């Protein structure tokens, strides 16, 4: 039985830190789940990491459903949360509910969407039909990025107060947790202490109830963007490129494939074949 929303809420009450990993495919998600990660997040950042887009804006519902299905087949223990992509929930509450349902049918346990108090009514409507929601404030790649670029949030009293108010509004709307991206660590800690739901930090300091990293960032596989907050535990991209170069050289030299890598006929069958074709 995999983790539930209640399990994640209980972790905050018991002051247990929550580990979240953003993953998009069956292979890596299986390893994340095996490692005991608490929450697997299928982020719309898949558009950049997996599909090569410049940002998350082009990602479609069909693509998010595909990634969600892949990760859902991999997980055995983790809670699975999936992002609603750009313009899949902003235009109308009906769209938001319908598209949330598509992600749940694809295997998600909950959905995540961006926006503060302006999205409270939409979140409440999704929750009312029985779909758990994770909020997302601070830097919002789908909206903040378009107008401000990558910019730390909550560095002044007024912007900090707005973030605190947004977190409270999302809590009232019924979210079970809130992702807090690139927020000054002082404000992130205040928000974590102010609301009852878990706060998951993305570059927002150690005072949050949990942390999230993209698995490709953690493993050093995605080099196009290197955010300050992404700790690299390995540098697999270098090892992978070296392995591929070794493979190419083995093919050229004829050392691959070797005898242990191919299959053979029985000697008497080979003899019959040679006689048949006159060889």
Kindly list the domain boundaries of the chain, sorted by start residue: 5-234, 239-277
Ramachandran region, residue 201 (left: φ > 0; alpha: ψ -120 to 50; beta: rest): beta
Q: How many CB atoms lie within 10 A of CB 95?
A: 16
- Rounded distance between C-alpha atoms, residue 208 and residue 229, angstroms: 14
Q: Does residue 99 register a pLDDT over 90?
A: yes
* Interval 189-213: pLDDT, tens: 999 999 999 999 999 999 999 999 9
Please tell me the chain's helix, strand, coil percentages from 3-state DSSP, rounded to the nearest 5.
45, 15, 40
Q: How far is CA 121 from the centre of its chain?
A: 25
Give yes or no for a contact between 164 and 193, defined as CB atoms under 8 angstroms apart: no
pLDDT-derived band of residue 151, with 50, 70 and 90 as boundaries?
confident
Q: Mean pLDDT for the chain?
A: 95
Q: What is the mean pLDDT of residues 52-69?
A: 96
Does 82 carry a binding-site annotation?
no
Does 30 carry a binding-site annotation?
no
Does 246 carry a binding-site annotation?
no
Does 44 carry a binding-site annotation?
yes
Q: Does residue 67 register a pLDDT over 80?
A: yes
3-class DSSP state for residue 185? Answer: helix
- Rounded distance between C-alpha atoms, residue 127 and residue 104, angstroms: 13
Catalytic positions, written as ranges:
181
Sequence-distant (6+) residues with CB within 8 A of 49 are 24, 214, 216, 222
Lowest-confidence range among 79-88, 121-130, 223-232, 249-258? 223-232
Among the CATH numbers 3.10.20.600, 3.30.360.10, 3.20.20.60, 3.30.70.1730, which is that of 5-234?
A: 3.20.20.60
* Interval 228-276: pLDDT, tens: 778 999 999 999 999 999 999 999 999 999 999 999 999 999 999 999 9
Does 239 carry a binding-site annotation?
no
pLDDT-derived band of residue 144, with 50, 70 and 90 as boundaries?
low
Name the nearest CA neighbour of 210 among 35, 18, 80, 25.
18
Angle between the N-to-C axes of helices 93-105 and 61-74, in degrees from 0 to 180, rounded to the nearest 10: 30
Q: Does residue 147 register a pLDDT over 70?
A: no
Per-residue confidence (pLDDT) for residue 18, from 0 to 100: 98
- Rounded distance between C-alpha atoms, residue 134 and residue 177, angstroms: 5
Bridge partners (DSSP) listed for residue 133: 111
- In the 8-state DSSP scheme, what is residue 259? G
């Amino acid at each position: 039985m995999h983790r539930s929303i209640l399990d994640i809420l209980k972790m905050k009450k018991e002051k247990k830190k929550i580990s979240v990993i953003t993953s998009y495919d069956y292979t890596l998600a299986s390893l994340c789940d095996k490692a005991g990660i608490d929450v697997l997040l299928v982020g719309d950042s898949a558009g950049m990491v997996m599909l090569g887009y410049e940002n998350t804006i082009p990602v479609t519902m069909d693509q998010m459903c595909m990634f969600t299905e892949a990760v859902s087949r991999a997980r055995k223990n983790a809670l699975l949360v999936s992002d609603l992509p750009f313009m899949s929930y902003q235009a109308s509450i009906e769209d938001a509910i319908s598209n949330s349902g598509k992600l749940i049918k694809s295997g998600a346990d909950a959905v995540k969407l961006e926006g503060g108090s302006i999205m409270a009514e939409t979140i409440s409507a999704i929750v009312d039909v029985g779909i758990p929601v994770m909020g997302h404030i601070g830097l919002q790649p789908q909206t903040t990025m378009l107008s401000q670029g990558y910019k730390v949030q909550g560095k002044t009293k007024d912007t900090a107060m707005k973030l605190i108010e947004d977190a409270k509004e999302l809590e009232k709307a019924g979210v079970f947790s809130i992702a807090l991206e690139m927020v000054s660590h002082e404000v992130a800690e205040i928000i974590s202490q102010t609301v009852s739901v878990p706060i998951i930090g993305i570059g927002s300091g150690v005072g949050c109830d949990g942390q999230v990293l993209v698995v490709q960032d953690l493993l050093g596989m995605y080099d196009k963007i290197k955010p300050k907050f992404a700790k690299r535990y390995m540098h697999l991209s270098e090892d992978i490129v070296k392995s591929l170069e070794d493979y190419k050289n083995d093919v050229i030299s004829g050392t691959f494939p070797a005898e242990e890598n191919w299959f053979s006929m029985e000697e008497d069958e080979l003899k019959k074949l040679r006689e048949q074709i006159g060889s």
